[in-house]
Chain A
Amino acid sequence: MSSKTIIMFSGDLDKAMASLIIANGAAAMGDDVTMFFTFWGLNVLRKAKKIKVKKEFMENMFGFMMPRGADKLALSKMNFGGAGTAMMKSIMKKKNVNSLPELLDSAQAMGVRMIACTMSMDVMGIKQEELIEGIELAGVATYLGEADSANLNLFI
């Protein structure tokens, strides 16, 4: 058995889908998979619902300006104010491609370990209650510890 690590840095829909497809695929090949969500990638893990937590003004602004969860992400290209993303989602649904929330559920069900970067959470004012269930909170050392024994590492 080998292991894979993926750093999810981007908060773009297309990049997040690629990461999650690789993570699901690797888990299905019998590998241990660890995903480390940092910076914009944290938005992938946010709950769709607004959660009431105590925040400072700037943290509230960040929370308001960034996409709230996997279903709200936009394409990195051809977004066109959301029209491109809507078109892409519609065609993917028609072609029976799993949605990003479905890919997240499936990855978690297969035991993919998901870690949220605590420094990014602090900077962006994202609290644990605002993230989906089953997410570990840790720093770069935890990720590096996993990467040490992995034979594939991706920065997406």
Chain B
Amino acid sequence: MAEKHINARGLQCPGPIVELFKVAKAADSGDIITIEVTDCGFSKDINAWCKKTGNELVHIDEIDGIIHATIKKS
């Protein structure tokens, strides 16, 4: 299982989910993707994205205005 990281800091909507989609598409089932985002709407959006795409949101937190999310590809 591979682990991939996306730095989406500074990207505005829909940049972070677009980047996440591209990486998730190329990833294999079970791969872990971590992403860092500064757009505060992302913390809600990532839930909707995971629900819709069937991937699992393993962890999410926010430190100093940066959202860190960990997603497991289904």
Query: Which positions in A face B, CB cutoff 8 Å?
Result: 21, 24-25, 27-30, 95-98, 106, 110
Interfacial chain B residues near A110, Cβ < 8 Å: 18, 21-22
The 5 tightest CB contacts between A and B, nearest first, are: A28-B21, A25-B14, A28-B17, A28-B18, A97-B12
Q: How many residues of B contact A (CB 8 A)?
A: 15
The answer to whether the Cβ of B30 comes within 8 Å of any Cβ in the partner chain is no
Q: Closest A-chain residue to B38, C-beta based? A: A96
Residue from the list B10, B13, B15, B53 in contact with A29, Cβ < 8 A = B53
Number of A-B contacts (CB under 8 A): 36
Q: Which residues of B contact A96 (CB under 8 A)?
A: 10-12
Contacts of B14 in A (CB 8 A): 21, 24-25, 28
Pairwise interchain contact A30-B12, C-beta atoms closer than 8 A: no
- Residue of B10, B11, B15, B52 near A30 (CB, 8 A) is B52
In the assembled complex, the Cα of A30 lies from the Cα of B11 at a distance in Å of 20
Docked complex Cα distance between A106 and B14 (Å)? 11
